[in-house]
């Protein structure tokens, strides 16, 4: 089983600042990684897939990078609507697994 870890657990950022979230896989997953955003009381929303492809309707301030075991989600200039929890998920093999999440809150 591929174990996904995320860091930091919580990221405190001021609006307008850059946020960098990390996701690590316990073994190589190529680029088979997705990022989701989840706000309270809502289901997860797809942000990124194949590590760096933005999903439909996702603003350009979101970008993804990485391959193998190390991945990054960057939010270039945080907007008020971006404060949420972010999860990574691999789909390289079975079982599918998610990371524990990174909470981005207002500094």
By the criterion CB under 8 A, which residues form the site for another protein? 1, 32, 34, 36, 42-46, 49-50, 55, 87, 89, 91, 94-101
Nearer to another protein, 36 or 71 (CB): 36
- Cis ω before 76 (30° cut-off from 0): no
Minimum Å gap between C-beta 33 and another protein is 9
Minimum Å gap between C-beta 14 and another protein is 25
Decide: 107 and 95 in contact? Cβ < 8 Å. Answer: no
Minimum Å gap between C-beta 34 and another protein is 4
Nearer to another protein, 11 or 89 (CB): 89
Which neighbouring-strand residues pair with 53? 49
Residue 34: helix, strand or coil by DSSP?
Answer: strand
Residue with tokens 């990124």: 48
Nearer to another protein, 13 or 55 (CB): 55
Which neighbouring-strand residues pair with 45? 37
């Amino acid at each position: 089983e591929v174990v996904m870890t995320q860091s930091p657990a919580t990221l405190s950022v001021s609006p307008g600042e850059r946020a960098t979230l990390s996701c690590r896989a316990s073994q190589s997953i190529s680029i088979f990684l997705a990022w989701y955003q989840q706000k309270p009381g809502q289901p997860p929303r797809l942000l990124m897939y194949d590590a760096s492809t933005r999903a439909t309707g996702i603003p350009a301030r979101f970008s993804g990078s990485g391959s193998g075991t190390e991945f990054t989600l960057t939010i270039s200039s945080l907007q008020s609507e971006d404060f949420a929890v972010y999860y990574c998920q691999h789909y390289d093999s079975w079982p599918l697994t998610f990371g524990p999440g990174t909470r981005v809150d207002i500094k």
